[in-house]
Amino acid sequence: MAERNYSWPARDAASVIGTYHDRLDGLAKASGAAKYTYDVNLKRQLIMKALDCPHAHCRIKSIDTPKAESVRGVVDVSVFPHAEPGKEISWQGELLVAVAAETEGAANEAVAAITVEYELLDVFTQDQALEAAKQAGRAGRPTTQTKTEKEPGDDDDADAFVEAEIARLLKEAAHVVEGDYGAESVTHCCLETHGATLAWEGDKLKVHLSTQNVSGTEEQIATALGISADQVSVECQHIGGGFGSKFAPDYWTIHAAKVAKKTGRPVKFMLDRDQDLMIGGNRPSGFIHVKMGADKDGMVTVWDSHHWGTSGPQGGGVSVGVVPYVFEPKNRRSTLTPIRTNLAPVRAWRAPNHPQGCLLTQAAFDDLAAKMGVDSYDIFWKNLDNKSSVQSADVYRQEMTLAAELMDWKAKWHAHGKGSANGSVVEGLGMAVHTWNTGGHTSTCRLRVHPDGGVQSFCGTQDLGTGTRTVCGMVVAETFGLDPDALTVNIGLSTYPFSGVSGGSTTVAGVSESHRRASEDALAQLFALVAPKLETTPEALEAKNGRIRVRGKPDQSMSWRDACSLLGLKPLEVEATFQQGSPTPLSSNGVGGVQMAHVAVDRETGVVKMKKFVAVQDTGLVINRKTAESQMYGGIIMGIAYALFEQRTVDPRSGAFLNNTLRDYRLPRLGDVGDIVVRLFEPDDQRARGVIGLGEPPVISPGAAISNAVCNALGVRVGVMPMTPKRVLDALERAARRA
Amino acid sequence: MTKSGNGTGWRSLFSRRAFLRGSGAAAAATALQAQVAAAADDAAPRVIRGATTVTLNVNGQQHPVTIEPRDTLLEVLRYQLDLTGAKPVSTDGTSGACLVLIDGKPAAASDTLAIACQGKAIETVENRGIDNPDAVVRAFVEHDATQCGFCTPGFVVAVRAFLARHPQATEDEIRAGLNGNICRCGTYANVVKAVLAAAKGGGNG
């Protein structure tokens, strides 16, 4: 069948999409009825707990478990394959021994009774300390990206040419900024820890998995267990946070499946909180030294930077591709040195690399404004002429204009450090811009329309709290002219048609595609049955307000239910697929976004308080305004968290994660976030682009915007995030010493 | 450098958690003993060892449960009564995700011993059921004060307790008074709106 000309209804013709709709599972979540992986209790299930490694780098000498085995209620004690005696462990928190028991109490008692002998090995965790890393042999080979307006001659050594060009441009620059900035690693800290509740039925394995990847983990689990994918099914109706850390089933789920097989009992294994903070995911750190030159008007002409950081034992660090970020001076050189550490490996963290790249770049651009004594807004505006983002400078500037109005930027602005103080408190403004560039992922939707008018959709996607379930329902409801609450939306099961992993802001575009396609296809078949009854052609029909009617003649109509009864005895079943990357009128990729922060800083205590935050975001066509705005609030609050609060504190001598409890790993609370104003920027030309995901963009700019606001308040840069009271006071003290 | 040590010994040198286990263990043990003693005071004095059957009053119903003295209320609610609204997020009540009401007062079920709850009225988030939501739950849905939702039940219980004391709460009071719960998705902005709406709409009604 030839592909239909799929489309979205015009803004004024849409009755469901673009509205504020309550999420379909909101009541289940708020009333405590929603069942998460942790909440699924299977008959005769065992509770599994694990001993984790207290050392950041060691070799296992011996493991002694008889005492654990003799604890009442313990059913099985097993050593993880990577922890057998003789094996090397390269980060703290790695799981060593698992205990399956009748109760949590028995499992915990047995874990405490396990004795392990370790040989301690050299530890290195100082990801900020480049020289120390070099001396310890932990610095990897640097990667450099360069671009210059002038090309080297045939006889020139390329590196020497770039070196000379950058030196010349810096010398000729009217303004030169030199700065040091950094973003420490933060964890994902999902409130539901990583894990599974699973059971075998014969040779078939049912896994309730806390996952962002319902359709993809089935195969991963089967491969790891050496069975075929059709023996495994994965279910996740609700997940307590993922943020990029729950794409894979994890080795502990595989181990739990083996224990379940061995004991013949269902097993629940979820990480403890401290284990989740240690090994459940974190993002790369990045520390930079920048030298940047600009012309007399503040247009940056040359960028030269070296940054370093860690992704764990493999080195890694913040991708050199995001430095500089959004702004792209015509002459630039960026170097990254990876540092191999005994810190747990990173996982994709919401908008991988971008929040760090945004700070490492745009703090320097703000320092240029400070140095020139001009408004940061004007420097950002001007430098959008040279940018790498796929979003147009025009859209960024429209968003800047709107954000400035919402913030009252021009009235509130003062030069850096020149605001009036209220006692020891000074206030400041800062801004940042960001980009994200992914389209919808592959997704298939199966629709069943029943002769009694009932509609069911099936899709192997997942709802991370982003509102995916509601988006699926709204798209089908819009197409059929029904109320979203009248449909049954089925997701979260790997036996449903394939849908991609929820990562990188790909989901809402992906599922909107598949659900719109399937429902347009189904509607066309229904129209073919209805048209003769209404004495018209299928092309003349439309579905609106629970009726199928002749366009322009609302009286010539039939109720949805009567129309469906024409199906006879058999439900109509339709399946449609969107392939990632295929040309489509329904979705697109590539967004911009502007954010502004207003902070108050106490020079005596070093405490930074959020007063107001404004975010303006383009995201193509909005399906559910309510959950889309929630994504915005959420991204911004997560950004406030990494800008001001959360910090993984590691003892440099032992490599131990010292604050691996929620009491000590500080996250902002309700009273810490100030007033937040969000605007989805959706003029006709942006809406016409179709659906674009929104998970990552709002989390990118807060760090840079808040850093710049703090600098504007104090007249002093607090270079490294999180900007804790101690860091603020240290920065003030350093500045006082210099002066 | 080569050293050896066992699993718990070395950790105690470095880990804050282990530090709390060490120096805080005495205090924690005292607190827990006090709870057991208080429970014993209510009935005839006796030493309880191993599994014992007690009756808990949860959401207005009497539930006989077989528990050990070390079992937390959270474990008993979740594993024996399948009341999983209260969530295991932190072990010490820092997150507020496991809040329940005990005799009308909010308490972290994760650091309350089940055995100390005999004779008390325990109210979980599920008290009203999904078909009979109160003003707080309705406001959370309407203002989308939930994303992943794992913190939401704890927030709902906290808000119920807060509004019972501050039925006319202002925005400033809400921002000052609901800092016992952690949300990672960032629902705070909408929680404020939801609580304001619930307060205006008559609080717990």
pLDDT tens digits along A288-328: 999 999 999 999 999 999 999 999 999 999 999 999 999 99
Examine the domain organization and report whether B107 and B55 are in the same domain: yes
Contact flag B178-A670 (C-beta cutoff 8 Å): yes
pLDDT of residue B30: 52
Measured in angstroms, the CA of A242 and the nearest CA of chain B are apart by: 9
Residue A423 neighbours by CB distance under 10 Å: 8
3-state SS string for B71-132: CEHHHHHHHHCCCCCCCCCCCCCCCCCCEEEECCEEEEHHHCEHHHHCCCEEECHHHHCCCC
Residue B59's domain comprises: 15-127
Which A residues in the span 198-257 are in contact with B, Cβ-Cβ below 8 Å? Answer: 238-243
Domain count, chain B: 2
Is B7 within a domain?
no
Measured in angstroms, the CA of A624 and the nearest CA of chain B are apart by: 12
Please report where in the chains the tokens 């000074």 appear, as a residue.
A426
Contact flag A23-B125 (C-beta cutoff 8 Å): no
Contact flag B84-A32 (C-beta cutoff 8 Å): yes
What is A441-578's CATH number?
Answer: 3.30.365.10
Asked whether residue B13 carries a pLDDT value surpassing 80, the answer given is: no
Phi-psi category of residue B186: left, alpha or beta, with phi > 0 → left and psi -120 to 50 → alpha? left
pTM summary value = 0.94
Residue A604 neighbours by CB distance under 10 Å: 11
Tell whether A586 is within 8 A of chain B (Cβ). Answer: no
Tell me how many helices (H) and strands (E) chain B has.
7, 5
**B48 pLDDT band (50/70/90 cuts)?**
confident
Tell whether A652 is within 8 A of chain B (Cβ). Answer: no
Is B8 within a domain?
no
Examine the domain organization and report whether B30 and B57 are in the same domain: yes
Is B57 within a domain?
yes
Interface mutation target, options B130, B144, B183, chain A, most CBs of A under 10 Å: B144
**B129 pLDDT band (50/70/90 cuts)?**
confident
**CA geometry: angle at B142 spanning B141 and B145, to 5°?**
55
Largest CA distance in chain A: 88
Nearest Cβ partner of A241 from B130, B145, B150? B150
Examine the domain organization and report whether B137 and B38 are in the same domain: no
Residue A150 neighbours by CB distance under 10 Å: 12
Query: What pairing do the DSSP bridges indicate for beta strands A720-721 and A232-235?
Result: unpaired
CATH number at residue B145: 1.10.150.120
pLDDT of residue A739: 87
Residue A174 three-state SS:
coil
Please answer whether residues A349 and A244 qualify as being in contact, where contact means their C-beta atoms are separated by less than 8 angstroms: yes
Examine the domain organization and report whether B36 and B98 are in the same domain: yes
Q: Return the residue of A nearest to B132 by Cα.
A: A31
Examine the domain organization and report whether B51 and B143 are in the same domain: no
Contact flag A634-B185 (C-beta cutoff 8 Å): yes
The domain A37-52+57-122+188-279 is placed in CATH, from the list 2.60.120.560, 3.30.365.10, 3.40.250.10, 3.40.190.10, at 3.30.365.10
Q: Return the residue of A nearest to B177 by Cα.
A: A671
Is B111 within a domain?
yes
Please answer whether residues A694 and A678 qualify as being in contact, where contact means their C-beta atoms are separated by less than 8 angstroms: no
Examine the domain organization and report whether B53 and B87 are in the same domain: yes
Mean pLDDT of A697-701: 98
Measured in angstroms, the CA of B63 and the nearest CA of chain A are apart by: 18
Asked whether residue A249 carries a pLDDT value surpassing 50, the answer given is: yes
Last residue of a domain, one of B127, B161, B189: B127
ipTM > 0.95 for the complex: yes
Question: In chain A, which residues have their Cβ closer than 8 Å to the Cβ of B174?
Answer: 670
Nearest Cβ partner of B92 from A240, A270, A663? A663
Q: Return the residue of B nearest to A239 by Cα.
A: B148
Q: Return the residue of A nearest to B181 by Cα.
A: A669
Q: Is the peptide bond before A722 cis (omega within 30 degrees of 0)?
A: yes
Asked which of A240-244, A501-505, A654-658, B30-34 is least confident by mean pLDDT, the reply is B30-34
AA identity, residue A572: L
Residue A366 three-state SS:
helix
Examine the domain organization and report whether B27 and B119 are in the same domain: yes
Tell whether A677 is within 8 A of chain B (Cβ). Answer: no
Examine the domain organization and report whether B92 and B176 are in the same domain: no
Please report where in the chains the tokens 């008692």 appear, as a residue.
A109
Read off the pLDDT of residues B58-105 as tens digits, 9 standing for 90 and up: 999 999 999 999 999 999 999 999 999 999 999 888 999 999 999 999
Is B205 within a domain?
no
A200: β partners:
A205
d(CA A246, CA A501): 10
Please report where in the chains the tokens 């207290």 appear, as a residue.
A54
Read off the pLDDT of residues A447-488 as tens digits, 9 standing for 90 and up: 999 999 999 999 999 999 999 999 999 999 999 999 999 999
Sheet holding A88-89, edge to edge: A88-89, A58-64, A115-120
Q: Is the peptide bond before A324 cis (omega within 30 degrees of 0)?
A: yes
Last residue of a domain, one of B127, B147, B180: B127
CATH number at residue B82: 3.10.20.30
Torsion sign (Cα): A319, A698, A722, A730:
positive
Examine the domain organization and report whether B55 and B75 are in the same domain: yes
Is B189 within a domain?
yes
Examine the domain organization and report whether B139 and B111 are in the same domain: no
Question: In chain A, which residues have their Cβ closer than 8 Å to the Cβ of B144?
Answer: 22-23, 26, 626-627, 629-630
Q: Start-end ranges of CATH 3.30.365.10 in chain A?
A: 37-52+57-122+188-279, 351-437+590-738, 441-578
Nearest Cβ partner of A651 from B4, B14, B186? B14
Examine the domain organization and report whether B36 and B89 are in the same domain: yes
d(CA A391, CA A434): 10
Query: What pairing do the DSSP bridges indicate for beta strands B52-58 and B121-123?
Result: parallel
Contact flag A33-B186 (C-beta cutoff 8 Å): no
Is B10 within a domain?
no
The domain A351-437+590-738 is placed in CATH, from the list 3.30.200.20, 3.30.70.120, 3.30.365.10, 3.90.550.10, at 3.30.365.10
Alpha helices of A129-213 — where are they, by DSSP H?
130-135, 158-172
A384: β partners:
none
